[in-house]
Amino acid sequence: MCINPCLRKARARFYVVLFVAVTAVSAKYEVKDLQLKAADQYAAHLDFQEIVIGAFPCNTQAKALELFDTEKLHEKGFLPILLVIENHNVFPIQIRETDIYLVETDGTQRRPIPYLDVLLEVSLKKPITESLDKKQIDKIVKKEMRLDFEHKSFGEKLIGPNSSDHGVVFYRLPTDGTLEGCRLYFPEVLNFSEREMLIFFEFDLVGAQ
């Protein structure tokens, strides 16, 4: 059977477009293992009240890609910060992500941005006006990516005596792209046994530039 040359070309174009579309959709998200160090081995860290907090702020594209397999984090102006916390006390401590502030040079205190909000912003061209459940989010974001962000996000930590834990918090990157003069502020670290707050923790991030 003789196929019309125009039809043959149209089919060829269709298969090329189909191949490109499938390739784009099937591009896999790579889950990257966090390369953790002892808390006091990070350039930015604080050792106080038998608690050591180390911070690895990712204010460059290369650093952000060490944590998550997406260039959009940096392109969209997000600042992921990996925290490693060691508790050398004889009691457990509790730290909530929502109580960890980024203090900018002008004194403005920024709360962390929930990881789901970060995921949606890096995945959508336009902001949405309604809340979505995880099933709906998985239609927009690769499930592997959503699970990776969920697993690595700091959330709420209950760290036992002589134990450690870690997680990532997200903020907006300062407009100048640097961390000079920025600090991390932990006003509510709870002695979980006694149900009382410890003295606040605060330290500069400039050491991690």
First-residue to last-residue Cα distance in the chain: 68
Segment 127-134 mean pLDDT: 66
C-alpha span between 166 and 82 (Å, rounded): 7
C-alpha span between 97 and 151 (Å, rounded): 14
Per-residue pLDDT reduced to its tens digit, 27-45: 789 999 999 999 999 999 9
Helix spans in the chain (H): 5-26, 61-67, 72-75, 115-123, 134-140, 143-152
Q: For 29-208, which CATH superfamily applies?
A: Immunoglobulins (2.60.40.10)
C-alpha span between 82 and 34 (Å, rounded): 9
Provide Rg for the chain, Cα atoms: 22
The residue extents of the domains of the chain are 29-208
**What is the percent of the chain where pLDDT is above 70?**
82
Per-residue pLDDT reduced to its tens digit, 91-105: 999 999 999 999 999
Segment 169-190 mean pLDDT: 92
Residue among 93, 4, 84 nearest 40 (CA): 84
C-alpha span between 106 and 90 (Å, rounded): 37
Q: What is the pLDDT of residue 6?
A: 53
Q: What is the pLDDT of residue 128?
A: 65
